[in-house]
Amino acid sequence: MLHELLLALLGFTGDFVLDAASSPSATRRRRPVPPEAAGGGDVGPASFRLAPDLTFLQPSERSAIERLISLGFYYRELNRFATESRDLSWINSPIDVSPTHDEKTVKAKVRKGSAYRRAIANGIAEILSVYRSAVLQVEQNLLSDPLPILATVTHGLNKFEVLLPPLHELVMEIEQKDIKGGQLLNLLHKRCHCGVPELQSCIQRLLWHGHQVMFNQLTSWMVYGILQDQYNEFFIRRQEDRDEENDSSQVDVADKFTQKSAKETSLTSWHTGFHVSLDMLPEYIHMRVAESILFAGKAIRVLRNPSPGATLQESMNQSQNVKGSYRMQSLIGGSGALKELPNFPNISAEELLPQAEADKIDAMLKELKHSSEFHKRLFESAVGSIRTMAANHLWQLVVVRADLNGHLKALKDYFLLAKGDFFQCFLEESRQLMRLPPRQSTAEADLMVPFQLAALKTIGDEDKYFARVSLRMSSFGIKASTSQKDLQKSSTPEISSQGKATSELALDGWDSIALEYSVDWPLQLFFTPDVVSKYRKVFQYLIRLKRTQMELEKSWAAVMHQDHADFSDYCKDRKNGDATQLRRQRSKPFWRVREHMAFLIRNLQFYIQVDVIESQWNVLQAHVQDSHDFTELVTFHQEYLSALISQSFLDIGSVSRILDSIMKLCLQFCWSIEQYENRRNMLEIDHITEEFNKKSNSLYTILRSSRLAGSQRAPFLRQFLMRLNYNSFFETTARGVMNSAGGRLRPSTAGTQL
């Protein structure tokens, strides 16, 4: 009987010990089946039971033996779990080229394996090995004892009564809920907090085995930039839609993905290729630490797989020597434009990430891996150090090798209009063209000529960044209002020859002028599409502002030239010069209005260019000089762009709409004033004057509001308001003390605001 008891302790039943789950339904539940089938029922604590015909046993003996043989049941179930989880025979199984539906189902089940569950199974196998040794020792004690008693068995296996039942409960929960990956680590971490030292040690050992898999994945990700996650258990995850596309792709689609350039693949991996999976992130690892791991791995991928840019680009000298032909190609075709060669044509991964640095990262992770316990503080410190190393090497690549500061300066020159002479020349060359509405089919080609002329006049050959700039018409404006179309017909009769479709486009259709900047690897890691979009938004705002200022100046110069000619004629023939003198007197109120428009536009332009752009540029330059961390630079640059947009009021819909209306009114005023002898144009100018005064007063009122006074832009906003209202004219007008009509404006006040 004692030998059959020992066999039962190792999971073998017989005539003396019976399997309580011997019924057909229970047998199906207890066989080694998939987890979803095994999770249907609840197993009592005595799934092994003594045969009922053993009448010679006392109740106390029967109770003690049933308590012992329950360990055999727990052993059998734990051993089954360990055997199934560690079974790798499916790896060498043949796979048919055209699998049937059933074979696909089996393959799908195989894919539900778990590296973490296999690691836990290894830990359970260790515990069961200790248990088997204890049973063997009990057997030896029984054989050596001349009078074997049941107490010998109870004493030898007493400690496993507090170990095997909780472990069996743990395994059942893992199988029933199909727990794996980071979720399994979470479960083990919670079960570690118990009041039984022996059980706590066992579960900590299981958690150690799970951490071995996690550290192996961390090493692959943070040392080599490779995501080893066969069963989707790691908390760093590829985008799910890409996996679905790969599963459903055909051979030709796979070939297309294979032919994708390394540069495109690298960019996709950096921006959208990976993310942190919250489902698999252990609760004891902070999200900030997980994001650092994500960044470090992506940075290592970039450093270990530099883009073969030299094979895709022409030499720098050739690009500079054929600048004129390049501009023609970039403005007409765009995609076939030549590009500069970076400063690192033959760069290797060893140069970007020395092997000594990779070995240092590997050593830090191995030290954590071999530790008997998981130390959260040491883990976070190591991850922070690895992230800093990766960020520093990425900074070296982007800032030093790729000349980040030179490209930042180029974006400031062209997108923020720092090269004012170039854009002044461009607007002058294209002024007559922009008097006409843009034609959808040829708008970019029409702008190519003035843009090219301005470049030849103002851009020297030493500016290697200009070759990256191209002009685009991103979209066209809305249809013009009735007054605008009438104004077009009266002032520019050439429009009628451009067709009906063209005449319906707005005069401000040219507001859709935009710049594009060609960025090569690795600068796409810094200048993302969102960043370039923000630069483009600010550029469109600034170019409209500069165009408005130039039109106000040009209209003043043209009409003053005519006024001087009229005055000369009047002096020569005073008797017949009454009409000329009357026209001169009648036009003076309009020039006061024009001066108010120019005053507002000039101050707004000066505020944006000096108080906003230059001051924020100096702050950014200080950060670039002091920082050696790529992520810090990205953050500083984002703050720089946000400050430009915020302090230029582009993020306040009410203010930006009023400013747009004011600029449109200024352009309408300039184009209408040239035909002010016409009675209809006189009424139109009066209407424009009235609208301008309303809009300017509304603008001042909004800028003085308490909501803006308490925002982060308040210090910069006060500088703009001080320039506008240095003599309290705007404030007095906004309060309604003075009439907003153009004829009531005092010449002395308007004149002093210069």
DSSP tag of 439: P
Structure tokens at 654: 């009410």
What is the C-alpha separation between 41 and 24, in angstroms, rounded? 13
pLDDT score of 268 = 65
Q: What band does 152 get if pLDDT is binned at 50, 70 and 90?
A: confident
| Residue 172 pLDDT class (50, 70, 90 cuts) | very high
Angle at CA of residue 164, ends 150 and 125, nearest 5°: 110
Q: How far apart are CA 234 and CA 214, in angstroms?
A: 7
Domain layout of the chain by residue ranges: 1-21+47-88+113-178, 211-239+269-305+353-400, 402-472+509-527, 544-549+587-739
pLDDT digits (tens, 9 = 90+) for 261-315: 455 555 666 767 789 999 999 999 999 999 999 999 999 988 888 765 433 333 3
pLDDT level of residue 408 (50, 70, 90 thresholds) = very high
Q: 479: which DSSP letter? A: B
31-40, 443-452, 732-741: range with highest mean pLDDT: 443-452
Task: Please tell me the least confidently modeled range out of 335-344, 470-479, 511-520, 563-572.
Answer: 335-344
The C-alpha atoms of residue 699 and residue 3 are separated, in whole angstroms, by 97
What is residue 505's three-state secondary structure?
strand
Span 210-233, pLDDT tens digits: 999 999 999 999 999 899 988 889
pLDDT tens track for 576-611? 555 555 555 666 677 777 788 888 888 888 989 988
Q: What digits encode the pLDDT tens for the residues 9-50?
A: 888 887 777 777 664 444 444 444 343 333 333 444 447 777
Look at residue 627 in the predicted model and tell me its pLDDT. Answer: 86
Sign, CA dihedral 652-658-664-666, equals negative
Residue 572: its pLDDT value, please?
62
The one-letter amino acid code at 753 reads Q
**pTM to 2 decimals?**
0.72
**Per-residue H/E/C for 278-301:** HHHCCCCCCHHHHHHHHHHHHHHH
pLDDT for residue 122 is more than 90:
yes
DSSP-assigned beta bridge partners for residue 274? 238
**Has residue 735 got a pLDDT over 90?**
no
pLDDT at 656 over 50: yes
Please report, rounded to a whole number, the percentage of residues in the chain having pLDDT higher than 90.
Answer: 25
